[in-house]
Structure 1
Amino acid sequence: MPNDSAHAQVPSAPTVLIVDDDRDFAYSAADFARSRGYTPYLAHSLEQSRDFAGIAPVDLLLLDLDLPDGSGFDLLDREGLLPEHGHVAIVTGHPSVETAARAVARPIMEYLIKPLGAEQFGRLLDRAAVRAHDGDDATVPGMIGRSAPMRRLAADLRRIAPSPLSVLLSGESGTGKELAARALHRLSGRAGAFVAVNCGAIAPDLLASHLFGHERGSFTGAAGRHCGYFEQANGGTLLLDEITEMPAALQVYLLRVLEAGRLTRVGGAEEIPVDVRVVAACNRDPMRAVEQGALREDLYYRLADVHLELPPLRSRGDDIALIARAALEELNAEHDVRKRLAAGSERALAAHAWPGNVRELRSAVRRAFLTACGDEVRIAPGPRRPQPAAQDPDRVSFSVGTTYAQVEREMLIKTLAHYGRDRTRTARALGVSVRTVHNQIARLRESGYEVD
């Protein structure tokens, strides 16, 4: 797992796959790699290592030659792992001229002899980490996935992270908005802390104190001065999750703090300068929230210098299996066992709609892991959502669990098509302004939809 306390300039935790039947060496190597900021994965045979082939590219492959069911070279030859891994190192306790020649003839290959010294292994890990940092632009720290939607998200996050722009993240529950905010912080290079607050989880009358702090005696129970989340995140990043749940009066003060870069604690008079990169997040469509009065329009435009919508898991293809395998490996490491996905699991995972997104998937993996009788984990998600046999081009159907954003998107696209792309008639039919239709079309285009 990525270490959130790592220095801000480190973009993500690199990964190492250790394939070795010497369990003492493998566990010791994993512990050492973990101490150097790596996320380690373990396999003790060719069969176990094939769980990772082509599924979870790693930054370093540490491969033993003498395995119970063949040679480490067999894994490279049969599975074609070299293009999928940033750095490959052969580690053997039985060196020979033949195996050394085969190793050095391959690209990005090192040939190391056991036992490995800490200094030698450390240099290897450092080289692989540098390669991973320099070449990895398809992923973001702490988020797993290489599907097209995640590649677009990664590119957006990396592009805007170093800037001072405020970011608004929207998307269904469980899509990883907090992980995206953490990635923004770690990619930004900001030296301060990352602080997250759920605006809907704090009583409205206490939220101001939590955000902006208070002075002693400012209200009953205020026994001393308290520095709020803004001050705690000074020089860093503050995530305001569920921003649409913030009371309207407090939104006014938040806007003033964002505009001025200064705050006043509850019960205080002194203005305190703060340098905070604000990332806001919500499960609702933000423009819908503006129209319904849950989010001030002026605050929306101040928060949404950049608006990113996180993709639902069902749109991410092979990422589903990749995330499931990563969750399983975390559980294997936690319980010191070696379980694997049962045959056919990937088809079942791909067939499910995952309305709870990544959170639901990880919960399903954990449930299946803890209830599995043997080494095979069979994930049994809920029943697949039924799909209509045919679609009337002038009719829109939705099931329970469909988000407002999806409903609005489908309604807009179908209404535009019905009225021959006439935006004025579309706006009149939907009961909104023409400006709203223009804004929604622009946001759909930014998200990759072909509207007209």
Structure 2
Amino acid sequence: MPQENPIIFLVEDCPVTGLIVERAVMHEMPDVRLLWARSLAEATERAAGLDIALFLVDIGLPDGNGFDFLWQMATDHPTARAIVMTATPLPEHQAHTSALGVLHFLEKPLQLQPLINQMRAALEKATEGEGKNDFRASLRNVTPADILQLKCLTRATTVVEFLSDDQIGRIRLEDGEIVSASAGALRGVDAVYEILGWTRGHVTEHPCVGFPMRTIDCPWQSLLMNAAQRIDERLSAITA
């Protein structure tokens, strides 16, 4: 069931913008809890252990970049949605928002009614999949390649996130084809090779949002085959 009082977590250092958002939420969304942090350090500390439904994050903050915070929160709060804000939009911002699965990218000064509408829609999306008929499983001895092959064969459109120790990798599929991937500083095919070489961790799945730049053009079958050959060569070099 949806949360009775979902939490919107605002990260914004401008007191005027923060107060405007806070008052708008209190007036228009009385069943929502709004928490407001004014820096990344404060946000990281306050977000720990909370069940957050939606992040509303400014990009330019006094102690860092809002995108870095959202990458961290994607691990700690994988089901939360996100909206980002900035007064100085740059071309690379759109690529970051797409890669993170951000729902909306807003330019300041904010228009309050569209923002309220977008936050309501985001909270609905956060509970969209609940109650549907599907299987949820925890399986042992399954490799990242096994998971990707299954998603490709079922022509899935999704983002599969792999967590291994302190490493995070994301692979996006559209209609069963692998179209983009990231793992640390790696992008595209190199990121897929890196992720498929991981031997332990866990996997989550997120809906595709936005239209990120395509970084992989080869068929998934050849991509997985080449990755398997690379892994075999690496293992042979280790045991030689």
TM-score by length of 2: 0.48
Whichever structure has more strand as a proportion of its residues is 2
Higher RCO (Cα < 8 Å, 6 or more apart): 2
TM-score by length of 1: 0.26
Larger radius of gyration: 1
Whichever structure has more helix as a proportion of its residues is 1
